[in-house]
Amino acid sequence: DIQMTQSPSSVSASVGDRVTITCRASQDINIWLAWYQQKPGKAPKLLIYAASSLQSGVPSRFSGSGSGTDFTLTISSLQPEDFATYYCQQANSFPRITFGGGTKVEIK
């Protein structure tokens, strides 16, 4: 199976900060990568699909980039509602889908 490694595992940031999360795949996954946001007690919410396509209704401060094995999720100006855990997910080996371990964005 394709392994997905996220870094950092946690990050402390302030409102207004620019935050970047990295996801690395163990092999080339083209652009078959999605990003999710999960708040405590809630289901994950799709933010980005196909590496850089913004899901409908998601604020434009979220952006994704990358292809191949290295990907990033950027929050351009962190808002109070953005404190959550973020997961990447690959679908290149569909249906053998795998998720990254998660990155928790905490208040500094």
List interacting residues with other proteins (CB under 8 A): 1, 32, 34, 36, 42-46, 49-50, 55, 87, 89, 91-92, 94-102
Closest approach of Cβ 8 to other proteins, in Å?
A: 15
105 touches 9 (CB < 8 A)? no
Q: Which is nearer to other proteins, 68 or 102 (CB)?
A: 102
Q: Least separation, in Å, of the C-beta of 15 and other proteins?
A: 26
Nearest distance in Å: CB 36, other proteins: 8
d(CA 82, CA 75): 9
CB of 102 to other proteins, least distance (A): 5
- Minimal CA–CA distance to 63: which of 30, 91, 55, 13? 55
Q: How far is Cα of residue 68 from the mean position of the Cα atoms in its chain?
A: 15
Largest CA distance in the chain: 38
Which lies closer to other proteins via its Cβ, residue 16 or residue 42? 42
Please say which residue, 37 or 82, places its beta carbon nearer to other proteins.
37
What's the CA gap between 20 and 74, in Å, rounded?
Answer: 4
